[in-house]
C-alpha cells in the first residue's frame, strides 16, 4: 500500500512566523500534538511537536537528570513558556522527515519505528504538504 | 484542484419520523416524537460540494472554520470521504442543523438551523493567508453557504477579488447580500440560494421573467453563467450566449430528501466541467445529480452511473439567444 492510500488528507499546519502561543492554541483546539510547518507556497519546511515545546521549556540540565521531580513546582517551566509565547515557530521547529505519495507502507513504517515518530507528513513531487500518516493509521490498517 | 469554502460548517442531523405533530392536543402534554431513523454527516454547502467531488474522483480541498467536538466529527467525516481538509480551528462549537422529514411529506421538511460560532478577527487573518496559498494550486473555488457571526457580509466579494486576481474561476453558491456583493465582481458561475427569500440582489425571482431579468443583470456584471431555480424541478440558465430552461420530469412525490440536492447540482456541474463538458451539458448532469440526490434518503447521490441514468429525466430547451 502506498502513502496516498494511507494518509489523512488533513492540512492543518502552521507557518514559520506563527507564534508559539498560537501553536499551543491550535494544538489544544485541534487535538493534534504534531503540526507540520509550511512556507508561503504550502511547501513543507519543518515540524513542531508538543514534545519540542515541553523540551524547550525545561531547564537545560534536564537532559542529564531525565526528571523534573527535583523542581519544587512548575513555576520555572511556566516562566520559560511565557518567554517563548511570542517567539516564532522557526526558532523551535525541527527538520522534518517526510514521505512521497507513492512511497510504500514498509518504508513508511520503517521510518516511523526507526525515528520514533508519531506521524510523518506526505508531500507531492513539488514538496507541498498533501497529508499526514500517523502510527495508528498503519496499525489500524494492519489489524483489520 | 477544486477548492471549496464553507465559512460556517455544520453537522447535518436528519430524523425520519412517521408523524410530526406540531401542536398539542392537551396543554399539559409534551410532544414526544420517536425517530424511525436518523443520521449525521458533515455539511454546509461547500463541504457538500467537496464530498460530491471527492466521490467522483476529483481532487478537492475544503476550507473554513472548525470548532469543538462538532468540528472533530465534521473533520473525521470529511477525511473518511476522501476530502482534503485545510481548516482554521477556533474556540467554541460548530453548529448543528436539524432536518425532520415526515413520512409522506418528504418535500416539506422541517429545518432548524443554528447560527454557528463567532469567528474572531485573528482567525479570519489566518484563514485569508491559507486561502491565498491554496489559490496558487486551484482551478475553481466555490464560495458557498451562510456567513457566520463576526464575518462581514462582503466577505465573498473580497474572496472573489482575490481569486480572480490569482486567475482562479469563482463559483458562488449562496444567497442574499453576500451573493450579490460578489456578483458585482463578476464570478464565473452563480447559483443563487433563494430558499429563504425569493430575491437576487434587489430583484424578485418569483416568475420566469423576473428570473431572467436577475440573471441578465448578473451577466452584465461579468458572470459567465447564472443558474436560478424556478421551482423544485426547474432551473433557468442565463449566460452571455443565451438562455436555457432545464426541467426534470419527476413527480414531487418521488423525493425523499431535498437537503443537499442543490449542492449535488453545483458539484455535478463542476465535475463535468473538469471532464471537458460544455457548460449547458454540465448543467444537465448537475440537474440529474440533484434529482438523483432528492430521490434517496442520504443527502447526496454519489453514484455516477445512477446520475447518468437520471439524465434521461432532464429536458433542456434553448429559450433565447444573446
Q: What is the pLDDT of residue A75?
A: 81
Q: Is the pLDDT of residue A73 over 80?
A: no
Does B264 lie at the interface with A, CB-CB under 8 angstroms? no
pLDDT of residue B93: 97
Stretch (H or E) spanning A5: helix A3-6
Give the whole-angstrom CA distance, residue B247 versus residue B191. Answer: 16
Contact at CB, B79 and A10, closer than 8 angstroms? yes
Domains of chain A, residue spans: 3-143
Q: Which of A36-40, A139-143, B39-43 has the lowest mean pLDDT?
A: A139-143
- Give the pLDDT mean for B283-298: 95
Residue A94 scores a pLDDT above 70 = yes
Cβ contact A13:A38 at 8 Å? yes
Taking CA–CA distances from A5, the nearest residue in chain B reads B82
Q: Which of B75, B89, B137 sits opposite A26 (nearest CB)?
A: B89
Q: What is the pLDDT of residue A58?
A: 79
Cβ separation of B67 and A12 shorter than 8 Å? Answer: no
User: Per-residue confidence at A74, pLDDT binned at 50, 70, 90?
Assistant: confident
Q: Which CATH architecture has domain A3-143?
A: Roll (3.10)
B96, three cell numbers = 448543528
**Looking at residue B195, what is its pLDDT?**
65
CA distance B268 to chain A (A): 22
Higher pLDDT, A51 or A37: A37
Query: A8-33, pLDDT tens digit by residue?
Result: 999 999 999 999 999 999 999 898 99
Domain residue spans of chain B? 232-322
Best mutation target among B62, B68, B84 (most A Cβ atoms within 10 Å) is B84
Interchain contact B133–A (C-beta under 8 A): yes
Task: Say yes or no: A15 contacts chain B, CB-CB below 8 A.
Answer: yes
**H helix intervals, chain B:** 45-55, 68-80, 121-135, 155-165, 176-183, 208-220, 261-274, 279-294, 304-310
Asked whether residue A67 carries a pLDDT value surpassing 90, the answer given is no
> Which residue of B lies nearest to A18 if distances are taken between CA atoms?
B126
Are the beta carbons of A40 and B133 separated by less than 8 Å? yes
| Selection from B270, B281, B5 nearest residue B139 by Cα | B270
- The chain-wide mean pLDDT, for chain B, equals 93
pLDDT per residue as tens digits for the range B63-120? 999 999 999 999 999 999 999 999 999 999 999 999 999 998 888 899 999 999 999 9
> Which residues share a beta bridge with B199?
B204
Q: How far is CA B232 from CA B129, B130, B225, B262, B306, in A?
A: 38, 37, 20, 10, 20
Question: What is d(CA B10, CA B297) in angstroms, rounded to the nearest whole number?
Answer: 18
Residue % of chain A over a pLDDT of 90 = 72
- Tell me the chain A residues in contact with residue B129 when contact means C-beta distances shorter than 8 Å: 15
Amino acid at each position: 500500500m502506498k502513502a496516498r492510500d494511507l494518509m489523512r488528507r488533513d492540512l492543518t499546519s502552521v507557518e514559520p512566523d506563527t507564534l508559539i502561543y498560537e501553536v499551543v492554541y491550535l494544538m489544544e483546539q485541534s487535538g493534534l500534538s504534531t503540526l507540520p510547518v509550511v512556507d508561503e507556497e504550502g511547501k513543507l519546511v519543518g515540524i513542531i511537536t508538543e514534545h519540542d515545546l515541553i523540551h524547550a521549556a525545561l531547564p537545560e540540565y534536564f537532559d542529564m537528570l531525565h526528571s523534573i521531580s527535583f523542581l519544587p513546582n512548575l513555576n520555572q517551566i511556566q516562566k520559560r513558556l511565557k518567554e517563548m509565547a511570542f517567539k516564532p515557530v522557526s526558532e523551535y521547529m525541527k527538520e522534518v522527515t517526510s514521505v512521497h505519495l507513492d512511497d510504500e507502507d514498509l518504508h513508511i513504517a520503517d521510518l516511523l519505528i526507526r525515528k520514533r515518530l508519531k506521524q510523518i507528513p506526505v508531500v507531492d513531487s513539488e514538496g507541498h504538504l498533501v497529508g499526514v500518516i500517523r502510527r495508528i493509521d498503519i496499525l489500524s490498517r494492519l489489524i483489520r | 484542484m477544486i477548492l471549496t469554502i464553507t465559512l460556517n460548517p455544520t453537522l447535518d442531523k436528519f430524523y425520519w419520523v412517521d408523524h410530526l405533530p406540531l401542536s398539542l392536543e392537551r396543554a399539559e402534554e409534551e410532544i414526544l416524537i420517536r425517530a424511525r431513523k436518523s443520521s449525521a454527516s458533515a455539511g454546509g454547502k461547500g463541504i457538500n460540494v467537496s464530498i460530491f467531488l471527492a466521490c467522483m474522483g476529483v481532487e478537492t480541498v475544503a476550507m473554513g472554520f472548525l470548532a469543538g467536538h462538532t468540528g472533530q466529527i465534521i473533520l473525521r467525516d470529511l477525511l473518511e470521504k476522501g476530502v482534503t481538509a485545510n481548516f482554521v480551528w477556533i474556540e467554541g462549537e460548530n453548529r448543528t442543523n436539524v432536518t425532520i422529514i415526515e413520512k409522506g411529506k418528504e418535500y416539506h421538511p422541517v429545518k432548524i438551523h443554528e447560527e454557528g460560532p463567532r469567528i474572531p478577527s485573528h482567525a479570519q487573518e489566518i484563514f485569508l493567508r491559507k486561502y491565498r496559498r491554496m489559490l496558487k494550486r486551484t482551478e475553481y473555488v466555490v464560495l458557498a453557504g451562510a456567513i457566520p457571526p463576526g464575518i462581514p457580509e462582503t466577505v465573498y466579494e473580497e474572496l472573489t477579488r482575490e481569486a480572480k486576481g490569482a486567475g482562479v474561476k469563482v463559483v458562488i453558491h449562496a444567497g442574499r447580500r453576500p451573493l450579490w456583493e460578489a456578483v458585482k465582481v463578476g464570478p464565473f458561475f452563480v447559483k443563487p440560494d433563494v430558499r429563504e427569500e425569493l430575491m437576487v440582489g434587489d430583484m424578485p425571482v418569483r416568475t420566469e421573467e423576473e428570473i431572467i431579468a436577475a440573471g441578465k443583470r448578473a451577466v452584465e456584471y461579468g458572470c459567465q453563467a447564472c443558474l436560478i431555480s424556478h421551482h423544485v424541478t426547474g432551473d433557468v440558465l442565463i449566460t452571455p450566449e443565451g438562455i436555457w430552461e432545464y426541467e426534470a420530469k419527476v413527480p414531487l412525490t418521488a423525493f425523499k430528501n431535498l437537503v443537499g440536492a442543490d449542492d449535488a447540482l453545483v458539484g455535478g456541474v463542476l465535475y463535468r466541467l473538469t471532464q471537458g463538458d460544455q457548460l449547458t451539458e454540465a448543467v444537465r448532469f448537475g440537474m440529474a445529480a440533484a434529482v438523483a440526490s432528492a430521490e434517496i434518503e442520504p443527502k447526496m447521490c454519489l453514484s455516477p452511473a445512477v446520475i447518468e441514468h437520471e439524465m434521461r429525466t432532464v429536458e433542456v430547451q434553448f429559450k433565447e439567444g444573446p
